[in-house]
Structure 1
Amino acid sequence: MTVFEPLREQLTDAARAFGGDAVAGILTGIVDDVDRALAEEPEIFPVCHHSPASALAMARRLREKRPSVVYLELCEDLAPLLAELRNCRLPVALQAFASRVEGFPAAWAPLSVVAPITEASAEYQAIAYALDTPGVEIVPVDRSTDHVFQWAPRDGDAAAPASEPASGSGSGEGGEPKEALHGDAVGIEIGGLRPGFAELEEHLLRHGKVRHWSEWWDQYVEQPLAGADYATYRQVMVLIGSLFRRLRPPDAERRDRDEDRERYMWTRMREHLAATGADPADCLYVCGAFHAASRVEQFGLAADAEPFEITPRTATSWRYGLIPSSHSAIEAQFGLAPGSVSIAAATWEKAVKRSGVKPFRLSGQAGKAPRGRKTPQVKGGAVQDGPPADRLTGFLSGPPALDGLDEAELLGWCVDIVRLARRNGYLAGTADAIAVFETSVLLAGMRGRACPTPYDFQDAAVTCIEKDRVPGRRDVARLCEILLGGDRIGAVGYDALPPLARDVHDRLQPLGLDLQKRTVQRALLDLHAEPDLLPCSELLWILRRLLPDGAVRPIMGSRELGDRPIQESWDLAIGRHQRALVELGYEGVSVEQVLEQRLRRAAWGPDATVVTALEAVEDAVLYLGGGRFAGELGARAVELLAAERTVDEAPEVVRRIRRLLAHYRAAEPALPRWCQAFVVEGYAHYCTLLPTAFADEAGGVRQVAAMLGFLFGMESLALSLGCDHAQLELAVRQSHPEAPAKVALLWAAKAQLGLMTRDELRARCDELLANPLVVPSFPLYMSGFVQALDPAPALAPLVVEAMSKAFGRLPDAVLLPWLPNLVATLREHARELVPTLVREAARTFPASLPALDAWTPPWESRAAPAASAAPAASGPVADLLAAHPMACDAVAALLGHPVEWDEPAGGDGGGEARGLLERHPAAAEAVAELLARAGAASR
């Protein structure tokens, strides 16, 4: 008969009276789980994550038992990081990171796992005790981070698994994270306890008269267990873990994963005991209360089940380090109520001061020491190592010990919250402080509490102070969190940083700034007066390229090809983005190496394009000095250009290669080989694709204009490298576009090649304006002409002429509906070239209003001399035609024009024929010459 037999019988009778055999089986099974866990070796210490009661019981038990081995529910490959905790300011998170994955879906990359550590947690007490006590070994026994993802469900391998919920936990309580210090990492929580389905949690919250799970746990578990002895603490925690385990939903996949974790941990403990020969009686197994009530066949050292087969890790290369964490980041990752971890930290300090327990703390630990450190004695909670006694019966049947009202503490909270509220814009006063005090006491009484908790105080403050609006950035609930402890943010010390991060701190030391601070700091660099700061400038530009926005922000200065910096100004928040800097250290030992690796991956990636490769070349020149690496990236750009089958990125390709060629021509004695190869390959490539691009209805006019810009702009260089001009001419002759913009672009290309004269191009524009059917689409032709300013900038005067004629000749009924279409078309298809058109118009038109009255357009002044010369040349022609009227009549009939010979008054000759001849003297001269040749032949 066990010590729990009376309790088992009592629960069985009660369950059969009220719930039947099913409930009786659950309740008696819970008692069996408690009995089994307490009798096992090594001693099982059940915990809850970030629980002050667990941390307090852990500190007491470690000072009593003094175990030589501590087995910890923590990823086994994170063990080397534990010693680095002494160089940090808590809270921080242990992290495993992998940028390249092997054996996992590629869509999951990068992989990241974090395990947050706070001072008010049992695992930190165990770590501090083991690391600072000679002869004590701490052994993480949970699955490795690689197995975390091996065992993760792969729902189509579409995305990486989300943050792993704690064992026995349900959904989160809502609330947006204040700071994503953990990024999108998967969180590993030690000892998470929460009902497995929403109905049970809702039932507990409703009957407990609380708002969320964190408040229920604080009232019904944390506060009663804070002053309980160790035996009571163990039995209650295992009882809760067993209850939630037996009442969880029948999720087979989740159940199997939890049980595999338990088999994994017991297998690792057996292996360690067999390898070291340690005495199980001197060992302590720290795990979540959920796992303490395990029923797997490998549970306990006396079990005779086969060892659990642990699969090998994948070939993924993991990097390990510490990243800063915060209370709000922990709350957001694990679905806790906002402010619950801060309240737990304040509860921990208060409990340490009240109980007199001396907590363990790593020597050299950065940060504020908890209050009560100077009281070494242990009060209450003494451990009895004799036979286990039934503490559950008394704990479950008796009322909880209620603390008395601490009026001084509550009054201090009320006064401080009013002061803080006034500072943030609230109209609060003494009456509000009194109201908060009385309301806190009232709420605590309604909820069955003798002493108001921080949650009661928060509800009372919101009710009495916030009223109907929030005048500032912070609401009253957030002010209460700040008052009760705030969002404590940790930091990783210099010695615990990876080599890359330490190198960054060392190289930026000449700036004289404390890069560990989370505030934004201004750095001023006068590179002309202090040239020694130039390496700092180069490093800052690389960090701006690698770190997230806001970490390194230039206020004054730029980094472009050919620039020489003189003065720069920077806003630095590297301390605020310490996580990103640490993760950067997982990729290499210096920022230059990381940047080179990233550029190489981008250029040789499966989705790499010509633009990607050229952008990598430019970054290599800007940040890494170019050289051999830039040549490799440039050769890759040539390969991608040769394999390209579309011209969608032609505008960006042309823009980047022009910039690079200009840089090399100014900075180098000769063009690199890859530039020459790119020009040769691009000339042949774009000549080949030009007819198809002109005919493709889906292709844009900007892409075709960019191709022509490359061909015309780099033709001289291409010809000097062995290309053939006939390729371009044949490509233009073979192009037959139908879209108006592309037709205009083709005309401009022919004019540039000499296949069409300027007068012919001007005549075609006049024909477009004269044809009423074409006028609605004339804006499209104009967009093509404007796009042609890139490959053929000499056509700018002709484009201005064509547009001016359109505004001058079109009637208002046509022009007014046509004008918005023209503006929209130019804005869509030729936005970057319109300034060129405007500058040419400014050069053509007069600059003042009086000069406009006497101004004659250049194209009209060129046509005037030809018109004035016509009458002088028509004298002998008129005489010839008058001598041979029948020939003139025949030509007029051939042209389809009736002719009447009328003698004008005064005998000067004329009539309609004379007017026609004056308007078209060239035709008359041609006919006269033809007749003269016919007469000479007849003679």
Structure 2
Amino acid sequence: MSPFGALREQLLDAATAFADAPGTVPGILSGMVDDVDRALREELEIFPVCHHSPASALAMARRLREKQPKVVYLELCEDLQPLLDELRNCRLPVALQAFASELDGFPPAWGPLSVVAPITEASAEYQAIAYALDTPDVELVLVDRSADHVFQWLPREPAEPPTADEDAAGHGEEAALHGDAVGIEIGDLRPRFAELEAHLLHHGKVRHWSEWWDQYVEQPLVGADYETYRQVMVLIGSLFRRLGPGDGDRLARDEDRERYMWTRMREHLAASGVDPSQCLYVCGAFHAASRVEQFGLAAEAPAYDISPPTATRWLYGLIPSSHSAIEAQFGLASGSVSIAAATWTKAVARWGVTPYRLAGQQGARKRAGRAPLAAPAPPGPVTDRLSGFLSDPPALDGLDEAELLGWCVDIVRLARGNGYLASTADAIAVFETSILLAGMRNRARPTPYDFQDAAVTCIEKDVVPGRRDVRRLCEILLGGDRIGQVGYHALPPLAQDVYDRLSPLGLNLDKRAVQRALLNLDASPELVPCSHLLWILRHLLPDGAVRPIMGSRKLGERSIQESWDLAIGHHQRAIIELGYEGVTVEQVLEQRLRRSVWEPRATAAVALAAVEDAILYLGSRRFTDELGARAVELLAAERTVDDAPEVLRRIRRLLTHYRATEPVLPAWCEDFVTAGYAHYCTLLPTAFVDDDTGVRQVAAMLGFLSSMESLALALGCDRAQLELAVRQSHPEAPAKVALLWAAQSQLGLLPMAELRSRCDELLANPLVIPAFPQYMSGFVQALEPAPALAPFVVEMMSKAFARLPDAILLPWLPTLITTLRDQAPELVPVLVREAGRTFPASLAAVDTWVPPWAARAVPQAPAGRVAAPAGPVTGLLAGHPAACDAVAALLGCDGGWQEAVPAADGPGHPAVAELLARHPAAADAVAGLLAPSRTMLSQAVG
């Protein structure tokens, strides 16, 4: 006969008397008793636990010492087992992690995949791990599904897998230690029926689930015997299971996990031949109440068909964790894990239990000698402990005045240190309010949560004076956010290499605080490799991990002294995850750069940025040439010119670097220039008329064509292609029209006099005046391809400021300033310098200043002008009037000089003739130097 028959009859009688639907409630209550009976009768002893529960950890430590099992089956991903021995090299809490960045069999949008299983000292799983690893002849077997199966069982829609809960935004920056990994926990005991949780919180007079669990489960079970603990935990798991959604995907995955675990345990028992009575199965209380057909060793159902893993390559390691990271990932209340850790410490001291700790565990307190293990006691008969637990009132602990007084004094001290005007009166108020709140909530003894509420009520005013509020100060007082650390020997090879290479800095890189590193690279050349590594880490790690204060790393620059703020210990997880990508940071950087230029959305600008990074950080000519060749391919395949400004800026910088450091340009640079010249010539007519292409992009295209023209022509390009592209361009937007005029002027297709005349006509036309600022913006952008137009742009801008009405001018000025600042900041110095040369330097000279464009008329030569000496200079000028016209147009002069030079030996322009007459020797010397290359010079000027 079942030992729970009397309890079942009592529950059925209560359901019949009080339930509105007698047919449903009795079934649920009797089913819960059946689940408890079934779990306790199982031949393989089932140990139900709750995640990070002090009561579970305490019961586990007691049961392990009493039973001394030879095999411990643990609900944890089976592929994480090789990591467990590395826990002794870490300071808890840490998390076991499985990581995959190269996916095969999963949607690409899911990557990278990450699974973490956090481990704390106050958890039953850590007690089981420490016992199994440090006890001879004990085997630990992880039986839960692998990390690969975790994602196999997720639905393919939506496109992204679920990640950590976002309900804990207030947990602080340490809540991000797990990143966006999927969390695996043992014993997820929380109602999956929202109405049930709300009902429990309301009638329990608590604010959140963590407080309810602490008051009604943790505290009563901390001192309970093993049988009572076991039966209550299975009962709670059965309750939440039966009152949860019955057809959800989550329940289906849980049942598949249970089939998976029982299949693995049966396989191990059959292979090892161990007696099931010497084994212990540690699982969540939810799974202890399982009803799957594979439950139990005596089940006749066939073994669960476990699917093979995908071809995804998984990498494994340990990452730092923290109390707040665990709370954020699993949706727990802020401070609940810290309070659980404090409860664990207090319970261990109160009940005299010696917990298990891994030998050599970092951060573990020195423990007393372990008592010798007694012979395991034979299991006794199952007796009903639930009836007494559910019917008897809980044992109420009296008020511990010393503990509460200590809390009140310490919170006032912390509050004063954080800017609060707290006093002894506030400590007394917190003490009395804590007792009052506990009484209102039917508690004989104030809990930490009562104390938190009382402190917030009595100390916190309208404004928080510092970084931490009173609730956060209470969490610090009651245990704080303990942050784990992975030891050196448990780090992947890449992280160990980083620590070794940075050791010459003489800093303790394990510290989480920000540390300042000063590097004098001239006086201490042995620090140069450290500097190089820090620049690579700055490129790879998130912001704040490695931050330069002084010094820079750019093409053509070398720092003599550098200063760095390092937070390596704070960002240890990021460095560990770099180890999943390669053996050294250089290998990781090379892989990332190669991946960036070969991804489907890569552009020529991205490839040029990768080339620059490869030069700065890797120094591999072969790899740089590979990236450069890819940049040529991407440029030739582009159908838009959105990245033209970035392409122009980067290729100019790279060409300057190669010309300064190498005798010849790399082949890929030459290919890029020729391909870019042909590519932009082809797209230029379309870009001029396309509304989606901005003026900045067109100006960058023209800048590429003009600045690379000499090199492109030397490499075999045809200048006629550019002239044809400009002639085929017919823009309608005013800014692009002005840009086209500037390009025609640059090519010699539009004389400066005609360009100035067109602009004067625009200013004189009342219908065009509202659009003149747009023309002006185009001329400003034209300084990119034609910087020699700076005097003309200053002239036109001055005329615009003088003639445009305020209604047009004033709205345009902010737009002009923001455009220059955002799109063309390098053009501002050009305009400023030209304006400085054009306008008077003193205020007194402004009254008599005459703009040069207002006094440009050339006066008639006087009758008695000075004759220029006959010679080759005047012959050169007279022989090539077209070249001289172009130079005169660029200088703002008209063509009147030709009338003053009738023949090669005739008189010249008055100013020129006077200059030549004063310095005949200089003129002859210059003519002698120019004579051998007249033809080349005239072609270049033309």
2:591 matched residue in structure 1: 597
Distance 1:68 1:281 in 2: 9
Gaps of 5+ in 2: 864-895, 897-942
Which of 345, 348, 361 is the aligned partner of 1:349?
A: 345
SS of 2:547's equivalent in the other structure is: strand
Shift of 1:155: 2.3
Call closer, same or farther: CA 1:867–1:272 in 2, change over 3 Å: farther
Q: Does 1:385 align with 2:376?
A: no
Shift of 1:231: 0.9
2:846 matched residue in structure 1: 852
Q: How does 1:437-836 map to 2 (within 5 A)?
A: 437-808=431-802, 810=803, 814-815=805-806, 817-821=808-812, 824-825=815-816, 827-828=818-819, 831-832=824-825, 833-836=827-830
Shift of 1:831: 4.0
Contact persistence 1:71–1:141 (CA under 8 A): yes
Q: Does 1:400 align with 2:400?
A: no
Which of 141, 147, 150 is the aligned partner of 1:148?
A: 150
2:64 matched residue in structure 1: 62
Call closer, same or farther: CA 1:173–1:534 in 2, change over 3 Å: closer
Shift of 1:153: 2.4
Which of 99, 108, 111 is the aligned partner of 2:110?
A: 108
Which of 226, 248, 253 is the aligned partner of 1:252?
A: 248
Call closer, same or farther: CA 1:441–1:703 in 2, change over 3 Å: same
Contact persistence 2:168–2:328 (CA under 8 A): no
Contact persistence 2:552–2:558 (CA under 8 A): no
Q: How does 1:44-193 map to 2 (within 5 A)?
A: 44-157=46-159, 159-163=160-164, 175-179=170-174, 180-193=176-189
- The residue type equivalent to 2:163 in the other structure is A
Shift of 1:826: 5.9
Distance 1:735 1:772 in 2: 26
Distance 2:461 2:752 in 1: 78
- The residue type equivalent to 1:776 in the other structure is P
Contact persistence 1:229–1:383 (CA under 8 A): no
Number of aligned residue pairs: give it. 858
Distance 1:237 1:631 in 2: 65
Call closer, same or farther: CA 1:156–1:203 in 2, change over 3 Å: closer
Distance 2:74 2:271 in 1: 17
Distance 2:691 2:756 in 1: 26
Which of 405, 411, 414 is the aligned partner of 1:411?
A: 405
Structure 1 residues 720-751: Cα deviation after superposition (integer angstroms, max 9, x where no partner): 11111111111111112222222221222122
Q: Does 1:28 align with 2:30?
A: yes
Call closer, same or farther: CA 1:842–1:71 in 2, change over 3 Å: same
Contact persistence 1:357–1:375 (CA under 8 A): no
2:872 matched residue in structure 1: none
Structure 1 residues 697-742: Cα deviation after superposition (integer angstroms, max 9, x where no partner): 3321111111111111111101111111111111111112222222
2:869 matched residue in structure 1: none
TM-score, structure 2 as length reference: 0.89
Call closer, same or farther: CA 1:377–1:27 in 2, change over 3 Å: farther
Structure 1 residues 474-514: Cα deviation after superposition (integer angstroms, max 9, x where no partner): 11111111111111111100111111100000000000001
- The residue type equivalent to 2:414 in the other structure is L
Shift of 1:252: 3.1
TM-score, structure 1 as length reference: 0.89
Identity of aligned residues (%): 77
Distance 1:197 1:86 in 2: 39
Distance 1:43 1:187 in 2: 27
2:309 matched residue in structure 1: 313
Which of 202, 205, 209 is the aligned partner of 2:201?
A: 205
Distance 1:235 1:802 in 2: 90
Distance 1:741 1:826 in 2: 16
SS of 1:862's equivalent in the other structure is: coil
Distance 1:611 1:556 in 2: 28
Contact persistence 1:92–1:325 (CA under 8 A): yes
Contact persistence 2:43–2:296 (CA under 8 A): yes
Q: Does 1:270 align with 2:270?
A: no
Call closer, same or farther: CA 1:719–1:732 in 2, change over 3 Å: same
Q: Does 1:4 align with 2:12?
A: no
Contact persistence 1:235–1:391 (CA under 8 A): yes
1:840 matched residue in structure 2: 834
Call closer, same or farther: CA 1:200–1:27 in 2, change over 3 Å: same
Shift of 1:305: 0.4
Structure 1 residues 818-858: Cα deviation after superposition (integer angstroms, max 9, x where no partner): 34325524642664223311211111111012223333332
Structure 1 residues 434-466: Cα deviation after superposition (integer angstroms, max 9, x where no partner): 222222222222222222211121122122222
- The residue type equivalent to 1:758 in the other structure is M
Structure 1 residues 122-143: Cα deviation after superposition (integer angstroms, max 9, x where no partner): 0000000001011111111001
Call closer, same or farther: CA 1:387–1:218 in 2, change over 3 Å: same
Call closer, same or farther: CA 1:836–1:470 in 2, change over 3 Å: same
Call closer, same or farther: CA 1:537–1:543 in 2, change over 3 Å: same
2:212 matched residue in structure 1: 216
Which of 215, 225, 232 is the aligned partner of 2:228?
A: 232
Shift of 1:7: 1.5
Shift of 1:568: 0.3
Shift of 1:859: 2.8
Shift of 1:178: 4.3
SS of 2:24's equivalent in the other structure is: helix
Contact persistence 1:174–1:337 (CA under 8 A): no
Q: Does 1:334 align with 2:336?
A: no
Contact persistence 1:796–1:837 (CA under 8 A): yes
Shift of 1:791: 1.2
Call closer, same or farther: CA 1:834–1:565 in 2, change over 3 Å: closer
Structure 1 residues 384-407: Cα deviation after superposition (integer angstroms, max 9, x where no partner): 721111111111111111222222
Which of 17, 38, 41 is the aligned partner of 1:39?
A: 41
Distance 1:753 1:84 in 2: 71
Structure 1 residues 253-285: Cα deviation after superposition (integer angstroms, max 9, x where no partner): 222111000000000111111121121111100
Distance 1:173 1:512 in 2: 38
1:890 matched residue in structure 2: none
Shift of 1:9: 1.8
Larger Cα Rg: Structure 1 or Structure 2? 1
Gaps of 5+ in 1: 166-170, 870-920, 922-939
- The residue type equivalent to 2:276 in the other structure is P
Shift of 1:469: 3.4
SS of 1:522's equivalent in the other structure is: strand
Shift of 1:337: 1.1
Structure 1 residues 141-186: Cα deviation after superposition (integer angstroms, max 9, x where no partner): 00111111111123232x22223x8xxxxx9687545421111111
SS of 2:23's equivalent in the other structure is: helix
SS of 2:840's equivalent in the other structure is: coil
Shift of 1:378: 10
Shift of 1:114: 0.6
Structure 1 residues 352-397: Cα deviation after superposition (integer angstroms, max 9, x where no partner): 0011111000000000417x74674999xx9772111111111111
- The residue type equivalent to 1:325 in the other structure is S
Distance 2:44 2:172 in 1: 39
- The residue type equivalent to 1:40 in the other structure is E
Call closer, same or farther: CA 1:761–1:174 in 2, change over 3 Å: closer
SS of 2:565's equivalent in the other structure is: strand
1:168 matched residue in structure 2: none
Shift of 1:430: 1.7
Distance 1:57 1:815 in 2: 84
Distance 1:375 1:428 in 2: 45
SS of 1:569's equivalent in the other structure is: strand
Shift of 1:868: 9.6
Call closer, same or farther: CA 1:213–1:475 in 2, change over 3 Å: same
Distance 1:377 1:488 in 2: 32
- The residue type equivalent to 1:412 in the other structure is G
Which of 273, 289, 292 is the aligned partner of 2:288?
A: 292
